[in-house]
Structure 1
């Protein structure tokens, strides 16, 4: 019973567990490095982070303005007038994507100020809303100009003939009321069905919007004209 077999058996099982532990350690390392969980938690997120960074950079360097179907023809006719100031003065790149039907504006190495990208996008948006190119160019040449958009239902819920009569009061005979509000408040107004777009400075937009809201609510144009003249005279005295 006290032969060498006991000693050899004692040594061999000791070596065997060591090898098993090493193999278990190797297996654990393989699972942790090459397993699905390890791969999904380390490498793919890194790849996604790189992608999101590059995508965000491309987003910061590009603006897209969608063009509705009824503005394709005016955009085609006035493309040179839109293209020239954006490329020559703002040093940007412009193209019209036929698949997505968007005007894409992108900065390049020659772009001096990244703020020009937003100015160009506002300029194209103003034209898409219905403003003339000459009026929309004011957004590029002057500071502190904005475009405000609201609907008739935001002021008063009107439907059918009531809404059409409100639009008629805003336009006036031959556009006379709209032109009067534009000249007094020094803004530009576009009546696009039930939507109203106003281009101008913050203070002038508030004056024009107040006059338009009064017309929507039913005030006669003569009363609105009188209020506009009084406000305009006050503003001119302050200036």
Structure 2
């Protein structure tokens, strides 16, 4: 009781101050976009991040997959990791460990022809085809695996098959229509089948 009387006699009042509300900026109000007549003439621009996020996912997948083999040879281990990091599936990278006559070859589109802007985009589109049809046709006829990573192309297969696949891809980069490449592939794969 004495404490209450002493504080009252000093004239001290307990005042509770409320914190001031923080003033957030108001939400921006954007007007809806309007169509510009014919939409096919609009220029679409893309920006690519330098860091490739699929490499992280592949590293995590490599650690967690139960079918990764025990690797005794250091060179085979290096080949396996290199193929895996280039974007090949685990099964294809494991084939490098088990089959001695498999090789990985890489090249860029600019090594074949210097292309920029939309011309480069069209060349990449010709390489993959609609829904990946052209890429799968080349893979199946030459018995190779192809990874198209931006402007880099990686091939996995035997030496002769990589050569045939590379020639097909180069002719597509140079502007050949897919039908012409298909017919050339049929002739070359028929010759390869006769040899073996």
TM over 0.5: yes
Separation in structure 1 between the aligned mates of residue 68 and residue 84 of structure 2, nearest angstrom: 14
Match of 1:81 among 62, 65, 76: 65
Match of 2:117 among 160, 164, 181: 160
Unaligned runs of 5+ in 2: 1-50
Asked if 1:117 is matched to 2:74, the reply is yes
Which aligned runs of 4 or more in structure 1 are off by greater than 4 angstroms? none
Asked if 1:221 is matched to 2:186, the reply is no
- TM-align CA RMSD: 1.7
Match of 2:159 among 202, 216, 219: 202
Distance 1:210 1:78, change over 3 A: same
**Partners of 2:147 and 2:153 within 8 A in 1:** yes
Higher helix share: 1
Separation in structure 2 between the aligned mates of residue 189 and residue 181 of structure 1, nearest angstrom: 8
Match of 2:89 among 113, 132, 146: 132
Count residues with an aligned counterpart. 146
Distance 1:134 1:175, change over 3 A: same
**Partners of 2:155 and 2:162 within 8 A in 1:** yes
Distance 1:68 1:167, change over 3 A: closer
**Partners of 1:82 and 1:124 within 8 A in 2:** no
User: Computing the radius of gyration over CA atoms, which structure comes out larger, 1 or 2?
Assistant: 1
Unaligned runs of 5+ in 1: 1-66, 92-115
TM-score, normalisation: structure 1: 0.58
Higher strand share: 1
Separation in structure 2 between the aligned mates of residue 184 and residue 234 of structure 1, nearest angstrom: 12
TM-score, normalisation: structure 2: 0.71
**Partners of 2:62 and 2:68 within 8 A in 1:** no
User: More relative contact order in 1 or in 2 (CA 8 Å, sep 6+)?
Assistant: 2
